[in-house]
Chains A and B, each alone.
Chain A
Amino acid sequence: MEFLTQARWSPYAVGIGIGILSWLSFLISREPLACSTSFASASGMIEKLFFGKKVDRKPYYQKIGLTVDWQWMLVVGIIIGSLISALLSDDFRWQWVPSLWAAAFGGNPYLRIIVALVGGICIGFGARWAGGCTSGHGISGTLQLAVSSWISAISFFIGGILTAYLIFILIA
């Protein structure tokens, strides 16, 4: 069982593992591996704490439903699975500023948190606009050969590559 304590596996082993996991989730749960809708339902649930039941009537929340569902539990599971893997390989670190960011922009945690917050807003907004994220479109949708997912996945990378170059080549 030594492989469980290795810090890194081959990306191909990981990818094939995720591919097989997608067979099982289709077969057993009739659900594709997807994450981003859970963040929207979490957002609606938080809104409900402040504004009460009328939040349920917002058209988008009626569409997705504000419940802790299968996909919600998938996201919770990802946190736990990653934690287990990191602990087993002694790869768990509390970290405010990633090293690639620190090398370009310094180690100030406040700057990094603000930038991460802005990036998160774009991700949350863009994922809902596109109807999925890197897992729902990028893996589960493309593997079904969905046209919407191939267009989305290509757009994710075009937007991502251009922005990463802007940040790290032009600004840094």
Chain B
Amino acid sequence: MQTSKSIDKQTQISVAKKGISPLLWGLTFGIVFGFLLQKGGATKYDVIVGQLLLNDFTVLKIMLSAVVTGMLGIYAMKSLGWVQLNPKSGSAGMNIIGGLIFGVGFAVLGYCPGTIAGAIGNGALDALVGGLVGIIIGSGLFAALYPRLSRGILMKGDFGDLTLPRLFKVNDWVIVIPAAILIIIVLYWLERAGL
């Protein structure tokens, strides 16, 4: 039963792949993603900055419930051999410093690269005229500096494409299940606290 189901799924996917080009799939996923972000309120400056001021926990609730749902499904599909993980490589120099610079911009702009696209669709002109132009300039600046950064600070404390199960050298589910429980406890606690 299990095998016939998975074969069924695979045939479906290959048919789907032949029917629609990869770019059209990207567009389709984007439309659903944008629709969901707008329905969640995450295309709005007030909601995002409200999260950073710890007044409105909508963004964290969306992210954590996406992570718990996504994680359980992706690791289940990995166990079944349907998908392969594709974790990003990193280093302390990359992720901590880059993350903090991003965080400063996150609060100053009030949108991130995904939600700014949603904000533009929602009519936010500060996102279109200010933020979008800024992100393009900032990305170009990094590309200009990349040759100098890539062999220096970006390599400091390099750990490659490590995942938590590999870090602790345990079976995936030894991390997945407690992580899911922990996230659900945090969400429950946010609701209990009336946040």
Contacts and interface: CB of A to CB of B under 8 A. Distances in A.
Interface of A: 6, 8-9, 11-33, 35-36, 38-40, 42-44, 46-47, 58-61, 68-86, 89, 91-101, 109, 112-168
B39 A21 contact: no
A92 B162 contact: no
A153 B112 CA distance: 12
Given A82-B118, A145-B165, A137 B88 contact: yes
B132 to A, nearest CB: 7
Interface size class of B (residues with CB under 8 A): 35 or more
Contacts of B155: none
Given A82-B35, A131-B89, A141-B87, 19 more contacts: A13-B39, A21-B33, A23-B74, A30-B86, A36-B135, A74-B26, A74-B33, A81-B38, A83-B121, A86-B43, A91-B122, A98-B110, A117-B134, A121-B137, A122-B134, A138-B63, A144-B86, A155-B102, A161-B54
Given A86-B121, A161-B54, A113 B129 contact: yes
Contact of A61 (B44, B96, B143): B143
A160 B99 CA distance: 9
Contacts of B144: 58
A170 B31 CA distance: 39
Nearest to A158: B103
Interface string B93-130: 01111111111111111111111111111111111011
A167 B108 CA distance: 8
Given A35-B117, A86-B121, A130-B95, A149 B87 contact: yes
A113 B132 CA distance: 11
Contacts of B99: 126, 130, 137, 151-156, 158-159
A98 B107 contact: no
Contacts, number: 535
Nearest to B172: A145
Given A116-B131, A148-B94, A15 B61 contact: yes
B51 to A, nearest CB: 8
Contact of B103 (A14, A17, A59, A162): A162
B16 interface: yes
A160 B117 CA distance: 19
Nearest to A41: B139
